Amino acid sequence: MADLKQNSGRIQEKALDIGFSLCGIADIREARADFRLGDNLRDSFPFGISLGRRLLDAVLEDIRDAPTPLYFHHYRQLNAFLDRGALLLASFIQDLGHRALPIAASQIVDWERQRGQVSHKAIGRLAGLGWIGRNNLLVHPDYGSRFRLVTVLTDMPLEVAAPLSFGCGSCRACIVSCPARSIMEKPEDFNHISCYEKLKEFRNSGLVGQFICGICVKSCRGSRVPARSNEASRP
């Protein structure tokens, strides 16, 4: 157990040195069935390291009723940082004698269902970094949804965190702000189709060159405290 804690401490320290704002570690064995990876990779890694970087508040404040070129540029720059940071952490783990696989921050492999190789927010939830909010995004107690995520899978023995309970409470800021009316009272009722149609509308209008919005991200500030705290995550 001491080795697990020490290993996790080394990972979290390295993640912070790289520049990540968040680092959480999850047991992902029960979640691997949903991974879009080959069997030889999907079943090789029992642990997932969820890594996050905060968005800049000033960029988000520029958003009103549609995504902006400023947000689009920031979004791409953050993705580049996340991918490079995940690669650096995976290389660090490999140098320690273990296997590691970084998963791209924003790469769609299932266009019909708009999904990547793994769900970063699902692993982030398992890693205790937040809960899935009404906006269908991971919500951190302090940062809200104002961050982006990337994941590193590994077989390095690590101490894992426990998920947080749903913590949006009475906050409905995202419901009020959503231009697609996609957000409902319960996270599981989120309307993916209307959200995607609105993203296509924004892109086709020439506002941005990617399927992004940012409006509900701006509105979610994480003002609610979750039912359970977690010492393994380091905001």
Domain total of the chain: 1
pLDDT of residue 207: 81
> In this structure, is residue 9 part of a structural domain?
yes
Q: Is 31 within a domain?
A: yes
* Residue 109 confidence (pLDDT): 61
Task: Note whether 139 and 222 are within 8 A (CB).
Answer: yes
Which residue, chain included where needed, has tokens 């690590």?
158
One-letter-per-residue 3-state SS of 14-62: HHHHHCCCEEEEEECHHHHHHCCCCHHHHCCCCEEEEEEEECCHHHHHC
- Give the strand order in the sheet containing 147-154: 22-27, 47-54, 147-154, 100-103
Q: Is residue 226 part of a domain?
A: no
Which segments of the chain have a pLDDT < 70? 1-2, 108-116, 223-235
Joined together, the tokens standing for residue 192 give 């993916």
In a domain, 141, yes or no: yes
170 within a domain of the structure (yes/no): yes
- Is 231 within a domain? no
What's the DSSP call for residue 67? -
Asked if the structure places residue 227 within a domain, the reply is no
- Rounded to two decimals, the pTM is 0.89
In a domain, 224, yes or no: no
Which sign, positive or negative, has the C-alpha torsion 221, 65, 67, 187? positive
- Domain of residue 29, residue span: 2-219
For residue 98, CA distances in Å to 45, 47, 84 come to: 10, 12, 19
**What's the count of helices (H) and strands (E) in the chain, helices before strands?**
8, 6
Confirm if 25 and 160 have CB atoms less than 8 A apart.
Answer: yes
